[in-house]
Amino acid sequence: MRTNVVIVGGGPSGLLLSRLLSVDGIDNIVLEKQSEEHVIGRIRAGVLENGTIEMLEKAGVSDRLKNEGFNHDGIQLSFKNHGFRINLKQLTNKHVTVYGQTEVTKDLYKKIKKENGIIINNAKDVLPQAIDTDKPCVTFKKNGVEKKIMCDLVAGCDGFHGISRSIIPKSIIKTYERTYPFGWLGILSETPPVSDELIYANHGNGFALASMRNENLSRYYIQTSLDEKIENWSDKKFWDELKKRLPTEASDTIITGSSIEKSIAPLRSFVCEPMSWEKLFLVGDAAHIVPPTGAKGLNLAVSDVYYLHNALKNYYKFHTNYDLKMYSNNALSRVWKSIRFSWWMTTTFHKFPDQSSFDQRIQDSEIEYLENSVASQRVLAENYVGLPY
């Protein structure tokens, strides 16, 4: 087989890149190690920035999003059980849209298949090879048979644990990491959301987040120790603890019910530099991880797709590789700004194991200042709705 670009990884970033390249007439093949059913069945959050919406519109997959997504003009913040609102729309003239990452992935799969794009699912032992030569290729196994795709370039969209990043020589790559000493215990419940907007809560017991999937499906999180076990958290224990941490108005009105999904996720910040080497370009979680506090994970992957898609379009249409050479620098500039914002949200709203009463009062003061400073609110709002590409 032969194509222009092999995309390793069939998650939302790989699928979006594939679709945008196809719109521009650039041949590509997506290799995904899991089945389509597995990929679209993964439960993920979905707070989308304006820039992400625009990219999905370019890809022709925004119809269902516009009909079913929930536009949020603000977010709610809380400390000491007291809540206040950040008016994103008023501060930035932008909003965010709640639409599950799972739904984005479904929309992309449907569109790509309808337009006869090539996605090879259940591709095992995927391996980019000869990346530093004029004849790069990607080998893989399908139904036990080894196959090879010759190509010009490879996009590594295969996540933190994927093969792509390991292809870059250790002498070239440098990584930066912060592992946080806590996790998020999250539940999904078939109950109406307690608020029309997300609630981020700082509390002496730890962080809490009230989110949603739709009008009858709610997603709630509380900060827990990494040593916690799911089986130690009954639904009643979870709801009782969540109520302690949310603002009083929300605690008094929340509707509880049986959980239909429950999990604990660790939090980390991670960046690798550079995000490209020779004919290989990393995208999304293959190059960086952000804690979910600032809702940046998927949006940051989409901004990588923006830079790489433009670079590839200029390479094939105008025969210039300048933007390909600048891809890593351009992407990393925005990556680090998002890493900083997610770090700030995480350190401001979570309780750390060694946190003293002084540290708690500093957090309280930080959030109280935010409540009463329009300038401070604007900084938060600009970052939350998404910095420009």
H or E element, residue 156: strand 153-156
Q: Pick the range with the lowest mean pLDDT from 40-44, 118-122, 171-175.
A: 40-44
Q: What is the mean pLDDT of residues 242-264?
A: 96
pLDDT at 15: 98
Reported as type and span, the H/E element at residue 31 is strand 28-31
Domain boundaries of the chain, sorted by first residue = 5-71+98-177+269-346, 180-267+351-385
The reported pLDDT for the residue numbered 326 is 98
Close Cβ partners of 56 (under 8 Å, ≥ 6 residues apart) = 16, 48, 62, 65, 104, 107
As annotated, the active-site residues are 72, 200, 292, 296, 384
Tens digits of per-residue pLDDT, 155-185? 999 999 999 999 999 999 999 999 999 999 9
Q: Which two tokens stand for residue 183?
A: 């996790």
Q: What is the reported pLDDT for 44?
A: 74
Report the alpha-carbon angle 109-112-118, nearest 5. 105
- The pLDDT, as a whole number, for residue 358 is 96
Per-residue confidence (pLDDT) for residue 46, from 0 to 100: 85
How high is the pLDDT of residue 215?
Answer: 87
In percent, the amount of the chain with pLDDT more than 90 equals 96
Q: pLDDT tens across 356-381, in order?
A: 999 999 999 999 999 999 999 999 99
Angstrom distance (rounded) from CA 338 to CA 249 = 31
Res. 43: pLDDT tops 80: no
Contact, 311 vs 389, CB < 8 A?
A: no
Q: Provide the pLDDT for residue 151.
A: 98
pLDDT at 137: 98
Distances (CA, A) of 51 to 65, 135, 213, 304: 14, 35, 20, 11
User: Would you state the pLDDT for residue 155?
Assistant: 98
Which stretch of DSSP H or E encloses residue 324?
A: helix 322-349
The CATH number given to 180-267+351-385 is: 3.30.9.10
CA distances from 109 to 82, 116, 167, 327, 373 (A): 43, 11, 27, 26, 44
Which residues are 272's β-sheet partners?
Answer: 175
Q: Check pLDDT > 90 for residue 125.
A: yes
- Stretch 6-28: mean pLDDT: 98
Cα 375 from Cα 377, distance rounded (Å): 5
206: left (phi over 0), alpha (psi -120 to 50) or beta: left
For residue 181, CA distances in Å to 201, 231, 352 come to: 18, 20, 7
Are 273 and 328 spatial neighbours (Cβ–Cβ below 8 Å)?
yes
pLDDT tens per residue across span 181-240: 999 999 999 999 999 999 999 999 999 999 998 888 999 999 999 999 999 999 999 999
Q: What is the mean pLDDT of residues 276-284?
A: 98
pLDDT of residue 213: 83
Which pLDDT belongs to residue 168?
98
Beta bridge partner(s), residue 269: 178
Per-residue pLDDT, averaged over 114-133, amounts to 98
Domain 5-71+98-177+269-346 sits in CATH 3.40.50.920: no
Q: How would you class 60 by CB atoms within 10 Å of its CB: exposed for 0-12, middle for 13-18, buried for 19 or more?
A: middle
Checking if the pLDDT of 42 tops 90, the result is: no
- Average pLDDT along the chain: 96
Q: How far apart are CA 71 and CA 199, in angstroms?
A: 15
pLDDT in tens, 307-331: 999 999 999 999 999 999 999 999 9
